[in-house]
Amino acid sequence: MSKLFFDYKGILLPCMGCNAEDIAFAENEFQVRDDDIFNITYPKSGTTWMTDILSLIKKNGDPTWNKTVPNWDRVPWIENHVHKAQVSEEQPRLIASHLPRHLFVKSFDGSKAKVIYTVRNPKDVAVSLYYFAKMTSFYEDPEGFDEFVKDFITGDIPFGSWFDHVKGWLEMLGKDNFMVQTYEDLHKDPRGRVLKICKFLGKELDDKAVDSVVENTSFQFMKENQMSNYSLVPSNYMDQEKSPFMRKGTTGDWKNHFTIALNEYFDKIYKDKMQGFCMKFPWDENL
Ligand code: A3P
């Protein structure tokens, strides 16, 4: 195992900003409140985007918070800032996490806290993660894309297998406090999806406020916003010269990276692992 990662109950986690003690605290001792809102994702599925959307909804479309406070302080990560998240007096607390369902905060079970789970075409996740692994010092620098995709498939990377993560969280489908959001639908119809998110959160925004949420979370706006684009992180941790954090923000970039053979291999495994799964995703149409 890479020295950059540690194993927590069979799941690899990055050592950077994260340790087994804090994860155990998050799992066993963190006290969820009924009005908490969790932004949950597998890495590179649109976490930062949802963080900014939720921040703006919370502030009724006023962009000041998004423009002045870094995303990790607005929506702290439970795996990196569990103690800060715990003592926050903010209501509702907005909290992000990549933890798989089976390692998630126990006090969440039975609470009314809400989860928005953003899920993205795994091929685009693999591409995005490949570039992320190249630009950060807390992931192993991948040797080649094909090798990287094989590790992605086996789940031999931080936060484990995409398949297990998605299947684990989507067991909550149908529950009142759970909403699934695809990156692809958000990309296609941001306004429509922001309205759905507001409805799920029981938050009524007027048209102007909804417009502001959409405008201030466009890819271009977030790419230029220092509080969203991670440019405040020193370059020895994230080298944006190698690849910007806000890289392309598109759907289907996998087509520029997967060879025909790798794509066929991936599709075969995808079909096998997702066979009989209860939900159809936008990308399933092309299988
Ligand atoms: P790409 O690398 O494909 O560009 P996460 O926040 O979960 O780490 O996900 C990062 C991915 O979401 C990156 O994908 C990033 O560009 C994309 N992203 C972030 N904000 C976005 C936005 N406002 N619109 C579209 N994509 C966005």
Residue range 23-71, pLDDT digits in tens: 999 999 999 999 999 999 999 999 999 999 999 999 999 999 999 999 9
CA of 49 to the centre of ligand 1 (A): 6
Kindly provide the residue ranges of all beta strands, DSSP E only, lying in the chain, ordered along the sequence: 5-8, 11-14, 37-41, 94-97, 114-119, 178-182
Give the CATH number for residue 63.
3.40.50.300
Nearest CA to ligand 1 atom 5: 44
Task: Say if strands 5-8 and 11-14 run parallel, antiparallel, or are unpaired.
Answer: antiparallel
| DSSP β-ladder status, 11-14 and 178-182 | unpaired
pLDDT, the chain, mean: 95
Residue 44 placed within a domain: yes
Full 3-state SS string of 14-51? ECCCCCHHHHHHHHHCCCCCCCCEEEEECCCCCHHHHH
Residue written as token pair 């620098």? 141
How does 150-165 read in b/e, with b if 16+ C-beta sit within 10 Å?
Answer: eebbebebbbbbbbbb
Evaluate whether residue 93 is within a structural domain. Answer: yes
Could you list the residue range(s) of the whole structural domain that residue 28 is in?
A: 18-286
Coil, strand or helix at 257: coil
In a domain, 64, yes or no: yes
pLDDT per residue as tens digits for the range 176-223: 999 999 999 999 999 999 999 999 999 999 999 999 999 999 999 999
Q: How far is the CA of 246 from the centre of ligand 1 (A)?
A: 6
Residues 6+ apart with CB under 8 A from 92: 33, 35, 36, 37, 58
Angle at 55 between CA 111 and CA 279, to 5 degrees: 55
With respect to residue 6, please indicate whether it lies within any of the assigned structural domains.
no
Q: Is residue 219 part of a domain?
A: yes
Residue 125 Cα, ligand 1 centroid: separation in angstroms? 10
pLDDT digits 0-9 by tens, 232-275: 999 999 999 999 999 999 999 999 999 999 999 999 999 999 99
Which residues form ligand 1's pocket by a CB distance below 6 Å?
41, 43-49, 124, 128, 131, 217-219, 222, 246-249, 253
- Residue 35 belongs to a domain: yes
* Span 85-101, average pLDDT: 88
Residue whose CB lies within 8 A of the most ligand 1 atoms, among 39, 41, 42, 48, for a mutation test: 48
Integer Cα distance of 143 and 125 in angstroms? 17
Residue to mutate (ligand 1; options 41, 42, 44; most atoms within 8 A of CB): 44
Q: Show which residues are catalytic.
A: 98
CA of 249 to the centre of ligand 1 (A): 5
User: Is 84's pLDDT higher than 90?
Assistant: no
Bridge partners of residue 178, in order along the sequence? 115
**Within a domain: 1:** no
pLDDT at position 287 over 80? no
Residue 90: CB atoms within 10 Å: 10
Q: Which atom of ligand 1 is nearest to the CA of 51?
A: 6
* Number of domain units in the chain: 1
Percent of the chain clearing pLDDT 70 (strictly above):
100
The arithmetic mean of pLDDT across residues 4-12, rounded, is: 95
Region 135-153: what's the mean pLDDT? 95
pLDDT category of residue 141 using cuts at 50, 70 and 90: very high
Longest dimension (CA), the chain: 52
Question: Does residue 6 carry a pLDDT above 90?
Answer: yes
Percent of the chain exceeding pLDDT 90 equals 91
Cα four-point dihedral sign 80, 178, 56, 216:
positive
What integer is the mean pLDDT of 119-140? 97
